Amino acid sequence: SQQGEEDPQALSIQEGENATMNCSYKTSINNLQWYRQNSGRGLVHLILIRSNEREKHSGRLRVTLDTSKKSSSLLITASRAADTASYFCATGAGGTSYGKLTFGQGTILTVHP
Amino acid sequence: EAQVTQNPRYLITVTGKKLTVTCSQNMNHEYMSWYRQDPGLGLRQIYYSMNVEVTDKGDVPEGYKVSRKEKRNFPLILESPSPNQTSLYFCASSFGGSPSYEQYFGPGTRLTVT
């Protein structure tokens, strides 16, 4: 089953606007990470939030985690054309799945200048 | 420069011809893993390794083999490639013996099996 699922699948905004992407997951997790990918290239880590954290900031990024709803959101404030990319959430589980990292299908963000 | 390297970057091969995609990291990371990326499916984990000589299956291990004889290398082996293994493959590594840390990704290997 798909663990991390992002929504929306695609998001198109103007430069300067905020972009919000959501990620839902099914099983309990140890942590949740967000990654960015530019056009078929390797993924780049953005931020990691642990299961006992509710919110985390890094520059223009704000991530929230609601373990009761099994969901996370990534907010990019004051977006720039250079933020155009695909964004993925990834969940690390516990128990017998301890070594696994499961990625969602991603949100394609387009920021128009 | 800290990095994960993969070779080859592009490969076109025929069904049944064994191939190996190499992955190497120079950061002394314990955790390494392989993913495949297909349109609309995101990244799916093939195999992972939490340390030397320790490997385990991810979500889509069928048709693949791996080995971890040295800490820095984690090759992906396709013994008998089939067209459904045409995909973009990524190797990644992280500090610590689990995926609970920032993953460093290689540049990707685009494989086409005809």
pLDDT tens, A59-73? 999 999 999 999 999
CB contact under 8 A, B103 and A35: yes
Question: Does B77 have pLDDT greater than 90?
Answer: yes
SS3 B83: helix
Mean pLDDT of A105-109: 94
Q: How far is B104 from chain A (nearest CA, A)?
A: 7
Query: How many beta-carbon pairs below 8 A join chains A and B?
Result: 67
Among A30, A43, A99, select the one facing B56 at the smallest CB separation. Answer: A99
pLDDT score at A39: 86
For residues A29 and B4, the model is more confident at B4
Q: Answer yes or no: are the C-beta atoms of B109 and B42 closer than 8 Å.
A: no
CB contact under 8 A, A44 and B58: no
pLDDT score at A2: 39
Spell out which residues of chain B touch residue A93, defining contact as CB-CB under 8 Å: none
Q: How far is B36 from chain A (nearest CA, A)?
A: 11
Mean pLDDT of B77-84: 98
Mean pLDDT of A5-23: 93
Q: Work out the pLDDT band at B58, boundaries 50, 70, 90.
A: very high
CA–centroid distance for B97 within its chain: 16
Spell out which residues of chain B touch residue A102, defining contact as CB-CB under 8 Å: 45, 59
Q: Work out the pLDDT band at B109, boundaries 50, 70, 90.
A: very high
Q: Work out the pLDDT band at B91, boundaries 50, 70, 90.
A: very high
Buried b (16+ CB within 10 A) or exposed e, A19-53: bebbbbbeeebbbbbbbbbeeeebbebbbbbeeee
Mean pLDDT of A90-110: 85
For residue A113, whether the previous peptide bond is cis, meaning omega lies within 30 degrees of 0, is no
List, in sequence order, every beta strand (DSSP E) within chain B. 4-7, 10-13, 19-25, 31-38, 42-51, 54-57, 65-66, 76-78, 87-94, 104-105, 109-113
- CA dist A36 and A24 (Å) reads 17
Mean pLDDT of A16-34: 93
- Please provide the DSSP assignment of chain A as one string: ----EEE-SEEEEETTS-EEEEEE-SS-EEEEEEEEE-TTS--EEEEEEETT--EEEETTEEEEEETTTTEEEEEE-S--GGG-EEEEEEEEE-GGGTT-EEE---EEEEEE-
Q: Work out the pLDDT band at A96, boundaries 50, 70, 90.
A: low
